[in-house]
A and B are shown apart, each in its own frame.
Chain A
């Protein structure tokens, strides 16, 4: 369908965008890459009175690294992050996730900040942000605040960003030596949202898992950390038996949503398989990187 009539503002600075958000509040939608928002408009699932288009705000785009953190501007397009040597070197889990987002033409326009602010629980980037404890920097009339990933995702397509706040950048901690990652998904068709996805990051020190991070996509209304499995894995030697037990613990409390692609029970079984595959791939990746 065609988009409904809607107002349009195109601020040139983040401060102008914040002023516009203060003026329009929850009647406004922030338009970044538009790869989710434009379909929502076309399907009448979102009916904002005004679009605040931040594509012209140069200060919101870019990747920089300092003091063990990589900062990605909210308007940084997914293909730019995909091609970034900084991202490839310092945030390998994000680098593994980016090629799996939609299709090439989607990543031409789609943005890091847009995907994380849209907060689709089945999408790749929210799971990556949860796994890595990313930090979200938002700017509003009262100034800037930093929101940790475990407080960012509040529900289906809902974040702790207030209507008068603009997501300006997302910070990811740089991976330490010995890190192995995988972004494991099972989807009906290539490029679709996964039935279940898992962002996995393991740190191996002398063959032992010193740190394990697992975050699911597609099993709840928010991305979900598998804390029980992470606790089990820390301090252990990687093995098939260990990963089987981790899969059991990671999924025992899950109650995934059912839809036409799979029942809740089926998704739970898929989730266990994804944990086994994800851990094996991340452990292999860590071992390969230390050679």
Chain B
């Protein structure tokens, strides 16, 4: 089993995952970062989305060994001091989520997207989130939350 070093939420982490272990399972099982959720395990649902080297990726479609040397941000990395970030607060205020299973994937995808497109409008946000599946909300409240975050960032 290859030894790997990577940065997760700003901290250096090491591990010796089997080649077949996905980044999602490595984060959850080896690093105890269970905020990353595993839904379909074949790249359809988006629940396991994390940010690797600045890009949103599906951590179930990436091997842990492939993350060696990378900078990974998970949902745990968005509020390290226990205070909600702008996006999280806007989604809270918009009642964006219900059961919460898809939440980390949506939040990570939206974080990556707003980072690159702070002026995004509704259509662009819908497009950016189109690969994430939610069975509860009907999506409107999620879109509302991301739009509210974008609006607040423009006012600051």
A interface residue numbers (CB < 8 A to B): 1-8, 10, 31, 34-35, 38-39, 41-43, 51, 53, 55, 79, 102-106, 108-109, 190-191
Contacts and interface: CB of A to CB of B under 8 A. Distances in A.
Nearest to B44: A39
Could you say which of A1, A34, A108 has the most chain B C-beta atoms within 10 Å of its C-beta? Answer: A108
A-B pairs, 7 with minimum CB distance: A103-B131, A8-B19, A39-B42, A108-B55, A3-B20, A105-B56, A38-B61
Given A34-B63, A42-B42, A190-B130, A105 B57 contact: yes
B109 interface: yes
10 contacts: A2-B22, A31-B63, A38-B61, A39-B61, A42-B41, A53-B66, A106-B43, A106-B61, A106-B131, A108-B56
Interface residues of B, number: 30
B49 to A, nearest CB: 6
Interface of B: 2, 18-22, 25, 41-43, 46, 49, 52, 55-58, 60-63, 65-66, 109, 112-113, 127-128, 130-131
Contacts of A102: 131
B62 A104 contact: no
Contacts of B113: 104
Nearest to A103: B131
Contacts of A190: 127, 130
Given A3-B20, A8-B2, A38-B43, A191 B130 contact: yes
Given A38-B22, A38-B62, A42-B42, 13 more contacts: A1-B42, A2-B20, A2-B22, A2-B25, A3-B21, A6-B19, A8-B19, A35-B43, A38-B61, A43-B42, A79-B55, A108-B52, A109-B62
A34 B62 contact: yes
Contacts of B58: 35, 105-106, 109
B77 to A, nearest CB: 17
Contact of A7 (B19, B46, B56, B57): B19
Contacts of B130: 103, 190-191
A39 B19 CA distance: 15
B16 to A, nearest CB: 13
A108 B57 contact: yes
A35 B43 CA distance: 7
Contacts of A39: 42-43, 61
B20 A35 contact: no
A7 B1 CA distance: 10
A34 B58 CA distance: 10
A271 B49 CA distance: 34
Nearest to A102: B131
Contact of A34 (B2, B56, B61): B61
A111 to B, nearest CB: 12
A3 B22 contact: yes
A104 B22 CA distance: 19
Contacts of B109: 104-105
Contacts of B25: 2
B56 A104 contact: yes
Given A4-B20, A5-B18, A38 B60 contact: yes
Contacts of B19: 6-8, 51
Contacts of B57: 105, 108-109
Could you say which of A3, A43, A79, A191 has the most chain B C-beta atoms within 10 Å of its C-beta? Answer: A3
